[in-house]
Structure 1
Amino acid sequence: MVSRKPLPFDPIMRAAALWDERIGPARTMAAVTSVMRVQQILLSAVDGALRPHGLTFARYEALVLLTFARSGRLPMRVMGERLQLHPTSVTNIVDRLQADELVRRIPHPTDRRATLVEITEDGSALLDAATKSVTSIEFGMSGLTPDEELQLTDLLGRVRRSAGDFD
């Protein structure tokens, strides 16, 4: 993350005040702008923690997902559904992980049209190290109590549900 001197004011709240004066209620604009800025902060922190491991957050999430599977393997289609990614994105992620020998593709035992992705021992070892890195910085989430983190997750879950992310 780029180190810079903090502003002496909250630019989002300043913009909200101007929005209120010139356009109308700024409540939603301020909330969305705050979420977008926090996303930038979190991505920067997480990317910084994962970079020494040669991982992006998307690749890290894929490895985590595979370890959550009982067998350590999943069909690519299921990976896309769970990661909420387009099949092309899943293919690109798996291609990169496979090139680094962190996963392997194997034929599905009962469905010739499907391919399974399986985490390798190297993938598991790298995932362990990367997880220590991101958890040591609390995924970049600072300034909230554990109860506030739960509340934030609940509030954002409501937005995700209303957008059709899940039932």
Structure 2
Amino acid sequence: MVRGTPLPVDPIAEARRQWIAHGWADAADGMSAVTSVMRAHQLMLAEVDRTLKTFALTFARYEMLRLLAFARGGRMPMASATARLQVHPASVTNTVDRLERDGLLRREPHPRDGRATLLALTDRGRDVAEKATEALNEQVFSRIELDEDRLRDLVHAIARLRLAAGDFMEPRPLPDPL
């Protein structure tokens, strides 16, 4: 994570203390949780940005390349990419424009739907996606300073928040094998 000069006091803990002192005790833990997640997001995003800068990528551009690299044949309808990345179509268009300009992907006509556009990863795009993923795995994802159990707990807790907010549906249980 990003290292700076540590503050002598945790400002979120101090904000929680102030919340309680001002009569908002019932919201103090929620405020602390939201503020903590937002600060953690800032710290993590700074590390991701620092790592991806080497590849002239933003996280949005990296996500698109990685999504296409995972897709069968390195191709996916633009509407599917928009849905999976959970961003506004205009943001996807902007991201695709930049990746296409840089020769990392190309737009192709959909073979069965004349209204749809396929996004296709170029060889260069696949290479950049793989190298950027290796760098993120080494410099960011494997360096979260929590043990495995706490990492799993964190992911589970955030997934529960996302589920409750309607971000995705609870997966249906798979049937037992015969």
Structure 1 and Structure 2 fold alike (TM over 0.5): yes
Matches within 5 A, 1:85-104: 85-104=87-106
Distance in 1 of aligned mates of 2:167 and 2:156 = 14
TM superposition score normalised by structure 1: 0.95
Matched, 1:16 2:11: no
Aligned length: 167
Distance in 2 of aligned mates of 1:63 and 1:19 = 43
Question: Residue 127 of structure 1 is aligned with which of 105, 126, 129?
Answer: 129
Q: Give the structure 2 partner of residue 51 of structure 1.
A: 53
Distance in 2 of aligned mates of 1:136 and 1:28 = 33
Deviating 4+ runs (over 3 angstroms): 1-4
Distance in 2 of aligned mates of 1:140 and 1:29 = 29
Residues 64-105 of structure 1: per-residue CA shift (max 9 Å, x gap): 110111121000000000000111111111000000000010
Distance in 1 of aligned mates of 2:112 and 2:85 = 23
One-letter identity of the residue aligned with 1:35: V
Distance in 1 of aligned mates of 2:141 and 2:55 = 15
Distance in 2 of aligned mates of 1:136 and 1:100 = 25
Question: Residue 81 of structure 2 is aligned with which of 70, 76, 79?
Answer: 79
The gaps in structure 1 that reach 5 residues or longer are: none
Identical counterparts, % of pairs: 48
One-letter identity of the residue aligned with 1:19: W
TM superposition score normalised by structure 2: 0.89
Displacement of 1:118 in angstroms is: 0.5
Distance in 2 of aligned mates of 1:87 and 1:17 = 42
The gaps in structure 2 that reach 5 residues or longer are: 170-178
Matched, 1:29 2:52: no
CA 1:141–1:161 in structure 2 vs 1: closer, same or farther (change >3 Å)? Answer: farther
One-letter identity of the residue aligned with 1:154: H
Distance in 2 of aligned mates of 1:46 and 1:79 = 21
Alpha-carbon RMSD: 1.5
Kept in 2, the 8 Å contact 1:53–1:130? The answer is yes
One-letter identity of the residue aligned with 1:149: L
Distance in 1 of aligned mates of 2:150 and 2:3 = 26
Distance in 1 of aligned mates of 2:127 and 2:134 = 11
SS at match of 2:13: helix
